[in-house]
Structure 1
């Protein structure tokens, strides 16, 4: 007689913009295995960003199957599935559940002329959106995209029955059920106070007739449905496994990091930087800056964005570190070499200061200025390459301080994730620059972990998100601010703020906008 296998694992799936991650977690929250698979992003026209919905599902199914087979996990061990993914955009399906066009992604810019036109007709257009959603609306949010489709592809909308987001498309392919959770609906834009859709926002965009496209709302931790026989054949999962509704990638990542209590901050230091602070009530300060996410468990997440994070270090390496690149056998060896080089420069980089506004999009925190550009400041002929490299590390850390400085309440601590969190050198600089304890949790795939924890709550493993986090998030590294270093960075930050303020006219003049 063959003994039955206990269902003791949770599967978390995080469908990013260009990479799908599937990860397995045990009851202690340990990340046991991860599989990553790339998905294609298409740019049929400049500024457009699309992906084939069927390909996204095929890649997701293949990633799940590979996770189980390559790492030799029995499908019977999977107790539930949690989902997260890149947020908003337009993932449209017909009444039979087939895509009516390629998905338009969150980073698509085609709606800017439409938004400009709406602002010209209603000068307070963006402010009205912010007062409802708590977020500065991006061009790739769902409602402006639906309005664009109504004007430019009415035949597409005529065939559409449901407007989904990425994770909801995957949930449909797994279960045959359709819904959206509050973390997505509130930033379409929607109603941050009510954590859902907003009739006023539908009216503002002239989309009352398209309101039926938008599915019912379901709590992130609730069960969306159960794996169908067809999905089981494609993924290797058992038929009947419960699938949780899930949450957008930003709230899910915060949960995976353990940032669920008011006053806890988290920073996702990747290509972009997302600085977030958990709040007990929706926060609309500062006005017309940043983002606001509803979180499962009755919390909100205020977020400030810097659009150039590890990009700054990548750029410096590409331009000034060819020898180190050629000699390094692995990425880890390369970054260790660079940190030793930067360590040859003292705290404060001998007066060199780097403004990390390297993105062509400029800056969005503490104000929106697309003309903003990066600078090295304070250089003399005595400065070395080590000084400039250290200035890059420090400039990015000062931008993180900038993100938390405009929050209406102070962060007690900062939980750090993303590529930058792998560096103890950089993590310590961030602690010194911000004056906050910086905590790095165990694991690598925090979005997938947050999704898995939501599924665990839905299954009754934990009574709440807070309990799930308390029982599963382990801090593996902690960095405390050094008072002497913090004093140096306090002086640097004052100069940083002056440059940020006083260079704005020059940036605009250089861009022909003066």
Structure 2
């Protein structure tokens, strides 16, 4: 155990298009934040990459910025924790030099390869789910490695390690190669074993390069210390402990205090992820949703509506461009929506606003969003309210699909900033919606893992629960939306069953 006399923890969140840093005190209170946008490279359709050096430079920049904003000296930082976008493939040689641009989780280059594997074995995806508990995404590490093995063998011939974006940044900080259990278990890996799966590695024909995948460590363990070179680049004190950390979903749940029994979590951002922490891995319903391995001997069973706040952004630009120029356009949208009564006078919006369809409550790549039930009486305010309600109905649909009782929902992400939407979600779900204090919950979860690693907290569950302060609590008006939700489900099922012509489907 490292004895730290310093005052604060630093959390990093390495996202697909933005890098964030935040400083937290011993009680998990956020003292300062900083962020920097990065460039996503798309040299070919469906590719999603980033320059490793640019990502490192952006990380160095936000570290220096947040330390200055918080008025924190390098010696005040007790430990560093790292969260970030999961899976993908970032490749270094034995000198630690990146061999190619890093590949993010939302990269789609493997789609044709996966389709061919399914054509050869109709149970291919079910076999993966039976071990990992998750519907595999195209940008997971193992399918990307198989693609690279066939298309870029020269790169893999020089490779020393393959890991995720956050693991690359941690390597730049410490010089130590590693990964954590949350990453390894969704590579895909084994939810039960909480890490790598030799069966999954063999399924993708990667036994000969399996050594490139670092063995996973507990997220709340120490990875190493800030090196002299990293100290010069970041402004951190050389020798500062750095924790292994965890993926962004796990860290956001930790940061939201959602490791407490009976507490669910909805991360309402660009996508809308809804999950419940479980003491055992849950594989039902089969072939649906995602199962994340969490620190603290827990698992997170989740269902995802692919489009979250994307629906509100579309609403603003498409139906309400006149509100975009207001000082707070999203608050103006909420005011307009409140002019319509609950149920939006029968207008229904299905929030399947994604080029790749939906993965909950069913997997339907051709599913598309839309309005339904419209009549001459409907006004713009009804349509606006229907969009807010539609996303809330999708959240309820996701929790119903998981099938476990929810006592309260911790709501985080951009959508949690809207008081109107928070109360509406509580009314739709029929349970309390709680909004924790703070903004950067991924960085907070990472910081709490670092604090646990140096002995500030007894364990990560205690850190998550004790360091959560509820800023807003919305009590539901029960039963208000039951009829409207039943109506929504009918229209959602109908839209999910529609199959447009092939040329209209983007994959």
TM-score for both structures, normalised by structure 1:
0.96
Secondary structure of residue in 2 paired with 1:61:
helix
Judge conservation of contact 2:83–2:248 (CA < 8 Å) in 1.
yes
Contact 1:293–1:302 (Cα < 8 Å) also in 2: yes
Q: Following the alignment from structure 2 to structure 1, what is the Cα–Cα distance between the partners of residues 21 and 309? A: 24
Cα distance in 2, alignment partners of residues 490 and 337 from structure 1: 27
Matched, 1:222 2:214: no
- 1:403-442 to 2 correspondences below 5 Å: 403-442=398-437
> Which residue of 2 is the match for residue 390 of structure 1?
385
Q: 1:481 to 1:511 in 2, by over 3 A?
A: farther
Alignment pair present for 1:206 and 2:205: yes
- 1:447 aligns with one of 438, 442, 450: 442
Alignment root-mean-square deviation, CA: 1.4
1:498 is aligned to 2:493: no
- In structure 1, the partner of 2:456 is 461
Aligned equivalents of 1:299 and 1:263: distance in 2? Answer: 13
CA contact (8 A) 1:270 1:419 kept: yes
Q: What does residue 378 of structure 1 align with? A: 373
Change (3 A) 1:342 1:432: same
- Secondary structure of the residue aligned to 1:274 is strand
**Higher deviation after alignment, 465-474 or 144-153:** 465-474
State the Cα distance separating 1:262 from its structure 2 match.
3.9
Instruction: Say if 1:371 and 1:511, in contact at 8 Å, map to a contact too.
Output: no
- For 2:123 and 2:405, the matched residues in 1 are separated by 30
Q: 1:345 to 1:511 in 2, by over 3 A?
A: farther
In structure 1, the partner of 2:287 is 288
Are the aligned partners of 2:260 and 2:465 in contact in 1 as well (CA < 8 Å)? Answer: no
Cα deviation, residue 6, structure 1? 5.3
The structure-2 alpha-carbon separation of the partners of 1:244 and 1:356, relative to structure 1 and needing over 3 Å to count, comes to: same
Equivalent residue for 2:356? 361
Q: TM-score normalized by structure 2?
A: 0.97
Secondary structure of residue in 1 paired with 2:283: coil
How is 1:112-261 mapped onto 2 (pairs within 5 angstroms)? 112-261=111-260
Secondary structure in 1 aligned to 2:16? coil
Gaps of 5+ in 2: none
| CA distance in 1: counterparts of 2:110 and 2:444, whole angstroms | 33
2:65 paired residue number: 66
The aligned counterpart of 2:470 is 475
Matched residues in 2 for 1:479 and 1:30: separation?
Answer: 22
Q: In the alignment, does 2:67 pair up with 1:75? A: no
Q: CA deviation at 1:340?
A: 1.5
**Separation in 2, partners of 1:301, 1:470:** 16
Report whether the alignment pairs 1:93 with 2:85: no
Structure 1 residue 261 displacement after superposition: 2.9
- Bigger shift: residues 219-228 or 70-79: 70-79
Tell me the CA shift for residue 472 of structure 1: 1.0
Query: How far off its partner does 1:493 sit?
Result: 1.3
- Give CA-to-partner distance per residue, 1:47-70, whole Å, 9 cap, x none: 011111111111101110121234
Provide the C-alpha distance between the structure 2 equivalents of 1:141 and 1:151, rounded to a whole number of angstroms.
16
Q: Helix, strand or coil for the counterpart of 1:127? A: helix
3-state SS in 2 of match to 1:507 = coil
Q: Deviations over 1:208-265 (max 9, x none)?
A: 0011101122110001000111100100010100000000000010000011134321
CA pair 119-507 structure 1, distance change in 2 beyond 3 A: closer
Per-residue Cα deviation, 1:428-460 (whole angstroms, up to 9, x for no partner): 110011111100000000000000000000010
Aligned position for 2:9: 10
Report the 3-state secondary structure (helix = DSSP H, G, I; strand = E; otherwise coil) of the residue aligned with 2:345.
helix
Does the 8 Å CA contact 2:196/2:215 hold for their aligned counterparts? no
In structure 2, the partner of 1:102 is: 101
CA apart distance, 1:167: 1.2
Q: Aligned in 2, Cα 1:344/1:94: closer, same or farther, shift over 3 Å?
A: same
Q: 1:429 to 1:216 in 2, by over 3 A?
A: same
Q: Is the contact between residue 264 and residue 410 of structure 2 (CA under 8 Å) also seen in structure 1?
A: yes
Counterpart Cα distance in 2 of 1:312 and 1:247: 29
In structure 1, the gaps of 5 or more residues are none
Offset of residue 505 of structure 1 = 3.7
Assess if the C-alpha contact under 8 Å between 1:6 and 1:76 holds in 2. Answer: no
CA deviations over 1:148-206 (Å, ceiling 9, x no partner): 00000100100101011111111111111111110000000000001000000011001
CA contact (8 A) 1:356 1:395 kept: yes
1:509 Cα deviation after fit: 6.0
| Structure 2 match to 1:51 | 50
